[in-house]
């Protein structure tokens, strides 16, 4: 057997990350190339300049390939985000009384195709993920393959995005050295790398805070149940801090990373911070608590949006698995404590795990989506056969197809705390 290679391309507002990996004959995943470069030409999940994005992807790919000295041909798994993303839960019923045959892969394929919602011409189905099946009234069936049954119902989580946004992302990534194998919602990619099986089963809210946007995914009974993208991320905090300090954005970003906190009460009131000089002028020291106040206000707004979206999804009670925070914005000092005050415990910061020998520099929340893409690729590599990933027509600019997967192997009031 030959090694199987996987490529992850995580395109964010602040950076582009490319990971090259392979799965050996023993099933072990090894990351052998990493490339990280600042983003250009993309804002809040939308490509604004294809050539600039293409150049940054190629630069990150070249940096990753520098470790091995030669190109590795591999279709890439690519993250997608942005406020154009929406989701819906759909159900479809298969009447198998006429044939009396055991439930087959072909039947499940047709069942999933039937669960596709009617969407506008400018939209594209990104994911159709079975949440569970009901067979002759027996609910909670994870995989009905091979079972006898007359009436089979699937409940599926469908993620939809704007066709033009997705196609422009593909155009920006693809080159003679790189093709797009699949596009993955960023929040779901991060979930692959950070959530435990118990959290998925109990129910959990995952919030991936990027620079331009924040992905929100709710899991219930092992599968995604609700997903959306909030139009605010870490850069909103940077802009607010820049306005408060009357300083350039790059200075505000440096200050936010070094001394920022979203919990003013945890900052000693007499602690002072020496601001970096800019325009040749030294700045007087400022109370560190004064830095925390605008950061707290904006992060509180983001968390209130999360609570509102959870309620909008139809959940009156917070999942008992709590909330997992990941992405670059999850590294803000005081964020777990602030989130716990607003939604109740448990709240934790999610780091990539599940890969033996994962390099230390990748064990950070900012790389959760990139690492998760690799895990997603391994889990879904064979789903194009048997579960109907070919349900959508190809175009010259889009060789990727929607990915299917089998469903994965009390609560508190929302906003309590």
Q: Please report whether residue 11 resides in a domain.
A: no
pLDDT in tens, 84-141: 999 999 988 888 776 778 888 888 888 888 888 888 889 999 999 999 898 888 888 8
Q: Please report whether residue 113 resides in a domain.
A: yes
Asked if residue 401 has pLDDT above 90, the reply is no
Asked if residue 293 has pLDDT above 70, the reply is yes
CB proximity list for 367: less than 8 A, separation 6 or greater: 10, 17, 352, 361
Cβ atoms within 10 A of the Cβ of 360, count?
6
Between residues 392 and 255, the one the model is more confident about: 255
How many angstroms separate the first and last alpha carbons of the chain?
54
- Point out the least confidently predicted range of 116-130, 273-287, 298-312, 368-382: 273-287
CB proximity list for 241: less than 8 A, separation 6 or greater: 247, 252, 255, 256, 260, 291, 294, 295
Asked if residue 397 has pLDDT above 60, the reply is no
Q: Please report whether residue 62 resides in a domain.
A: no
Instruction: Please tell me whether residue 280 adopts helix, strand or coil conformation.
Output: coil
pLDDT at 386: 26
pLDDT in tens, 332-353: 999 999 999 998 879 999 999 8
Between residues 397 and 270, the one the model is more confident about: 270
pLDDT at 277: 79
Q: Please report whether residue 225 resides in a domain.
A: no
The CATH number of whichever domain residue 92 belongs to comes to 3.30.1490.110
Q: Please report whether residue 231 resides in a domain.
A: no
pLDDT in tens, 208-230: 999 999 999 999 999 999 999 99
Burial of residue 116 (CB within 10 Å: 0-12, 13-18, 19+) is middle
pLDDT at 2: 61
Q: Please report whether residue 100 resides in a domain.
A: yes
pLDDT at 3: 66
- Are the beta carbons of 337 and 349 closer than 8 angstroms? no
Q: Please report whether residue 359 resides in a domain.
A: no
How many structural domains comprise the chain? 1
Between residues 270 and 137, the one the model is more confident about: 270
Asked if residue 57 has pLDDT above 50, the reply is yes
- Are the beta carbons of 268 and 290 closer than 8 angstroms? no
Q: Please report whether residue 106 resides in a domain.
A: yes
Structural domain span for residue 140: 86-161+404-409
Give strand ranges (E) for 231-356: 272-273, 286-287, 317-318, 323-326, 347-349
pTM of the model: 0.88
């Amino acid at each position: 057997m030959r090694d199987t290679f996987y490529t992850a391309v995580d395109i964010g507002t602040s950076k582009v990350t490319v990971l090259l990996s392979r799965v050996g004959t023993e099933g072990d995943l090894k990351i052998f190339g990493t490339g990280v470069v600042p983003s250009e030409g993309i804002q809040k999940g939308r490509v604004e300049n294809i050539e600039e994005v293409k150049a940054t992807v190629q630069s990150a790919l070249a940096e990753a390939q520098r470790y091995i000295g030669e190109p590795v041909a591999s279709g890439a798994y690519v993250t997608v985000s942005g406020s154009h993303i929406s989701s819906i839960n759909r159900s479809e019923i298969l009447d198998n009384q006429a044939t009396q045959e055991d439930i087959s892969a072909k039947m499940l394929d047709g069942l999933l195709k039937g669960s596709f919602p009617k969407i506008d011409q400018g939209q594209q189905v990104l994911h159709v993920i079975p949440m569970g099946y009901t067979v002759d009234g027996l609910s909670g069936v994870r995989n009905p393959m091979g079972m006898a049954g007359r009436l089979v119902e699937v409940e599926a989580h469908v993620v939809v995005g704007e066709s033009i946004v997705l196609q422009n992302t593909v155009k920006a990534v693809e080159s003679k050295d790189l093709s797009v194998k699949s596009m993955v919602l960023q929040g779901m990619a991060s979930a692959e790398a950070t959530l435990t099986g118990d959290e998925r089963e109990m129910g959990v809210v995952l919030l991936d805070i990027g620079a331009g946007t924040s992905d929100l995914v709710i899991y219930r009974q092992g599968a995604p149940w609700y997903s959306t993208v909030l139009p605010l991320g870490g850069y909103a905090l940077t802009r607010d801090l820049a306005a408060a300090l009357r300083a350039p954005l790059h200075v505000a970003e440096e200050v936010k990373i070094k001394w920022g906190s979203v919990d003013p009460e945890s900052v000693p009131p007499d602690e002072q911070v020496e601001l970096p000089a800019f325009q040749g002028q030294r700045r007087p020291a400022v109370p560190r608590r004064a830095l925390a106040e605008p950061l707290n206000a904006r992060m509180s707004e983001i968390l209130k949006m999360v609570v509102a979206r959870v309620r909008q999804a139809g959940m009156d009670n917070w999942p008992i698995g709590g909330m997992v925070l990941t992405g670059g914005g999850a590294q803000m000092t005081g964020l777990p404590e602030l989130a716990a005050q607003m939604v109740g415990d448990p709240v934790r910061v999610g780091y990539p795990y599940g890969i033996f020998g994962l390099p230390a520099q990748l064990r950070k929340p900012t790389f959760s989506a990139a690492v998760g893409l690799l895990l997603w690729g391994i889990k879904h590599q064979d789903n194009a056969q048997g579960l109907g990933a070919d349900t959508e027509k190809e175009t010259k600019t889009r060789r990727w197809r929607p990915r299917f997967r089998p469903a994965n192997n009390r609560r508190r009031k929302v906003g309590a705390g």
